[in-house]
Structure 1
Amino acid sequence: MSSQRLNLLSFSGKTKILHMTWMAFFISFVVWFNHAPLMMVIAKTLGMNNSEIKTILILNVALTIPARIVIGILVDKFGPKRTYSTLLAAGSVPCFMFAFATSFEQLALARFLLGFIGAGFVIGIRMVGEWFPAKQVGIAEGIYGGWGNFGSAAAAGALPALALIYGGDEGWRYAIATTGVIALIYSVVYFFSVSDTPKGSTYFKPKKAGAMEVTSIWDLFFYILMSVPLYATLSLLTWKLSPTGANLLSNGAALSIYTGIWVLFLYNVYKIIHVNEEHLQHPIEEIHKYKFKQVAILDLAYFITFGSELAVVSMLPLFFFDTFHESHGITMVEAGLLGGSFAFINLVARPIGGWISDKFGRKLSLSIFVLGLSVGYFCMSMIDSEWPIALAVLVTMSCSCFVSGGCGAVYAIVPLIKRRMTGQIAGMVGAYGNVGGVLFLTILSFVTPAVFFVVIAAVALSVLIAVQFIDEPKGHMAEVQEDGTVEMIELN
């Protein structure tokens, strides 16, 4: 069956799995972003100041970076059915903690823990990759990512209304708790409605848990090198909370966190070496080899696509307000709606990005999307108060098409590298998206929006060069059955 004949109106077989899984992702994002539209009301209830509000926003993403790595390991070991169901159920606990917190400290702890549910995205990548063949995996992953990602927008639209329905000064508590109840119920529904693989298929697992297997000594060093930015980003987040940043951590507390982060890095290096040392001492058959550069390039591609999207979505409403408030008289609400146009396009553009990747080739498609977003951000850097608002929105949405399409193109390749490690690969690639968001927002705190857009455009051109070194998935990948027989999985 070609990707053009994927029947989304069906609710059986692999299409049922796709619908059930994007809904799980959708709910996880509703829970992850349930605070955003209600933040001002929450702050008023608990008497929070601006620094404390910023702290909550930072804590919301802090745990997601390591969580995506951990979830990738767990999904490869235990399967997506059990992992997604467990994550949704476990995620409801800090959701209830947040809803009924009575102090800033309780609120902050709950928000920090809720960052773990943001890693749910990784699980569905493995699930969809198991159920869809290579010629359909791009559009399927695109639908999963694009439709599920809309959960953040759904939370923004539905939760304020739900809080009003509950009524009272603390209606927000019941609105947020409702999302926890939904996650808890759906965790049970998901567990009893899906299976990890189609009937008769094998769910391949890594030989050892704790880190990805690599197939050459140089890839081992490359893997360790590519892990450094993940821990550096956690250090950057700590710096933002330290006395030199938001001044919400003491020097002693910040130093303790820095130490913990890099001790964790050293432990990660130990696990990488431990997982790989034995099999790298023996010759590895050519059919079992893969190139870690494929993962590294996808890390960079998601860094610029999803990373820039995270950053731009966060700053765009204020950018439109500051740019057009005096010249065109737009309100903050109107600016928010205009800014939301950047993320809204995800619903369509991400699946289209995956479909184009299926149809016209993975490397070519990713190259076009990265080049397009570079041009798009450069055009956005020229937006000023003299521009017609309609033209500014058109340029913004055009850029967003390439950004979201690029996200779809990245995850059209992820399941085609090494099947038994798809979760870990998806986790590392996804973590790099968060790294990009943190880094670009940090850059924004030092420069003007115009320079910010130019920086993203320039970084995208560097990533475009890297993309030219990725290998087009073709032929077959080999996985070993429990009885020792080799199964060849088609890649094109």
Structure 2
Amino acid sequence: MQKNQHPLTKLNIFSLKGVQMRTFHITWITFFFCFFGWFGAAPLMPMIRDQLNLSKSEVGNIIIASVSATIIARLLIGKLCDTLGPRLTYTILLIVGAFPVMLIGLSNDYTSFLLFRFLIGIVGASFVITQFHTSMMFAPNIVGTANAVTGGWGNLGGGVTNLVMPLIAAGFAAMGFVSEADSWRLAMVVPGIILLIMAFVYYRYTTDTPAGNFRDVEKTNISTEQKKHKGSLTDTLRDYRVWVLTLAYAACFGIEITVDNVAAMFFIDRFGTSIIMAGAMAGIFGGMNLFARALGGIVSDRVGEKFGMKGKGTLLGLLLILEGIGIALFAASGTLFFAVVSMLIFALFLKMANGCTYGIVPFINKNNIGVVSGVVGAGGNIGAMLVGFLFKSENLTYAEAFQYIGLGVVLIGLLVVVTKFHPKPATQHNIEANELDFQRS
């Protein structure tokens, strides 16, 4: 077997050489554009709210809907990755998800907009494929860092979306294609078209594994071992560590996509900023993904080398505790400047926690990475859905909702600190065997 058919033991982000690095870059770029489809409507919600006469409760329901479908989709997508392979799974998801993104502009009332927003949520399952595919391309010694970089740079799309989508809408209005009130409708067509383009790119230029696609390597040792030791959803759900990681991801990524959804409205309602300024402020939050999630993965790998899985778990718990404290400071902010500064503080720890979580995931059940990734990934959306009820309440301000969120995140962080993430004996044996194989290659 040729050397380039093995997972890489080093990550050179400036390289495009080999199927591993080509897949690495295509994966995070695809995930980046998925955010334009998934959250493209979020920074446009102030004008959508006014045009469709939405109440605070209805806006809250829309926020919940935007992440609800993703829960089911992530569970399904994780299993499809284990069977069809990430290449076909991503291609299908992009094609199917592009249509509700482009068609949401046809909404003329609360009910139709809610339905389209729910259907768009399936695009969020792209994260599971991103993490699964990256795990197939990199060896255990570097997989945490690689997952964090692809996840972080992809999540960067959430910040860029907040900044760019209002500009796209304003551009269409300025060119006279539509009125300012209807500009959001035409703007949403853009990310839908991009998703279709990325479906072609993903299908054409990636492979499931360094050795080829799943169907082409069925007789290789890799696929034979996968089938021999294949796990199941039931086995995954019996593992308490999976549930703790699910809670942890609810407390970091779940809060991230919540902020992506409400940040623009928070800045407009609390500080009276313009929609473009609010989008820029929200964009700063997402922009932290340029380095923060990758930093979490890098630190997780370094801590893992020295202190093992126990060190990785402790690190994740501490990051969550610091994130919760930062959210409480953000909720108490009385000026725009303090709000932005405190947002940057909790964003750093939140996004590092994202990377640290998926620095642990590949080691929980090596033979069932797709399902574990799907369950933990779904946890992020469950968290976003649950806190969404706080933002729809007529009795709570957005600031008060963030105060409750901060407390909850701290409590989950404490739980993670006391959890033992040591791999089970059989899993540890397999990991060590794999590490030796990668070193020989």
TM-score, length-normalised on structure 2?
A: 0.79
Secondary structure of the 2:359 match is coil
The equivalent residue for 2:15 is 10
- The separation in 2 between residues aligned to 1:185 and 1:356, in whole angstroms, is 35
- The separation in 2 between residues aligned to 1:436 and 1:194, in whole angstroms, is 32
The equivalent residue for 1:193 is 205
Does the 8 A contact of 1:476 with 1:489 survive in 2?
no
The equivalent residue for 2:414 is 465
Q: 1:39 to 1:129 in 2, by over 3 A?
A: same
Does the 8 A contact of 2:324 with 2:407 survive in 1?
yes
Moved more, 430-439 or 89-98: 89-98
Q: Establish whether residue 168 from structure 1 lines up as the match of residue 178 from structure 2.
A: yes
- The separation in 2 between residues aligned to 1:4 and 1:420, in whole angstroms, is 19
TM-superposed CA distance for 1:105, in Å, is 5.1
Does the 8 A contact of 2:65 with 2:118 survive in 1?
yes
The equivalent residue for 1:376 is 326
TM-superposed CA distance for 1:201, in Å, is 6.6
Segments of 5+ residues of structure 2 without an aligned counterpart are 1-5, 212-219, 305-311
- The separation in 2 between residues aligned to 1:98 and 1:321, in whole angstroms, is 24
Moved more, 367-376 or 69-78: 367-376
TM-superposed CA distance for 1:24, in Å, is 1.6
Does the 8 A contact of 1:381 with 1:454 survive in 2?
yes
Q: Deviations over 1:156-193 (max 9, x none)?
A: 33334334246223554443223222211221211121
Paired amino acid for 2:145: I
Q: 1:123 to 1:201 in 2, by over 3 A?
A: farther
1:442 to 389, 399, 411: 389
Q: Establish whether residue 393 from structure 1 lines up as the match of residue 321 from structure 2.
A: no
Q: Deviations over 1:26-75 (max 9, x none)?
A: 12221112223344555677x55446655544432221111111111111
TM-superposed CA distance for 1:154, in Å, is 2.9
Does the 8 A contact of 2:160 with 2:286 survive in 1?
no
Q: Deviations over 1:318-337 (max 9, x none)?
A: 54556555xxxx65654553
Does the 8 A contact of 2:163 with 2:282 survive in 1?
no
Q: Establish whether residue 490 from structure 1 lines up as the match of residue 435 from structure 2.
A: yes
Does the 8 A contact of 1:138 with 1:355 survive in 2?
yes
Paired amino acid for 1:157: L
Percent identical among aligned pairs is 32
Q: Kindly indicate whether structure 1 or structure 2 has the higher relative contact order, using CA contacts under 8 Å at least 6 residues apart.
A: 2
Paired amino acid for 2:288: I
Does the 8 A contact of 1:206 with 1:421 survive in 2?
no
TM-superposed CA distance for 1:85, in Å, is 0.7
The equivalent residue for 2:233 is 212
The equivalent residue for 2:290 is 347
Q: Deviations over 1:290-347 (max 9, x none)?
A: xx1221110111111112223344444454556555xxxx656545533443332122
Runs of 4+, deviation exceeding 6 Å: 206-210
Q: 1:208 to 1:91 in 2, by over 3 A?
A: farther
Q: Deviations over 1:55-101 (max 9, x none)?
A: 54443222111111111111111110110011111112223332445
Q: Deviations over 1:103-146 (max 9, x none)?
A: 66554433322211111111111110111112211111111111
The equivalent residue for 1:113 is 119
Does the 8 A contact of 1:71 with 1:123 survive in 2?
yes
Query: RMSD of aligned C-alpha atoms?
Result: 3.5
The equivalent residue for 1:30 is 36
Q: Establish whether residue 418 from structure 1 lines up as the match of residue 418 from structure 2.
A: no
Secondary structure of the 1:411 match is helix
Does the 8 A contact of 1:76 with 1:420 survive in 2?
no
Larger Rg: 1
Does the 8 A contact of 1:353 with 1:405 survive in 2?
yes
- The separation in 2 between residues aligned to 1:100 and 1:48, in whole angstroms, is 16
The equivalent residue for 1:88 is 94
Q: Establish whether residue 430 from structure 1 lines up as the match of residue 436 from structure 2.
A: no
Paired amino acid for 1:168: V
The equivalent residue for 1:282 is none
1:455 to 404, 407, 417: 404
TM-score, length-normalised on structure 1?
A: 0.72
Segments of 5+ residues of structure 1 without an aligned counterpart are 224-291, 481-485
Q: 1:300 to 1:101 in 2, by over 3 A?
A: closer
Paired amino acid for 1:428: V
- The separation in 1 between residues aligned to 2:96 and 2:279, in whole angstroms, is 32
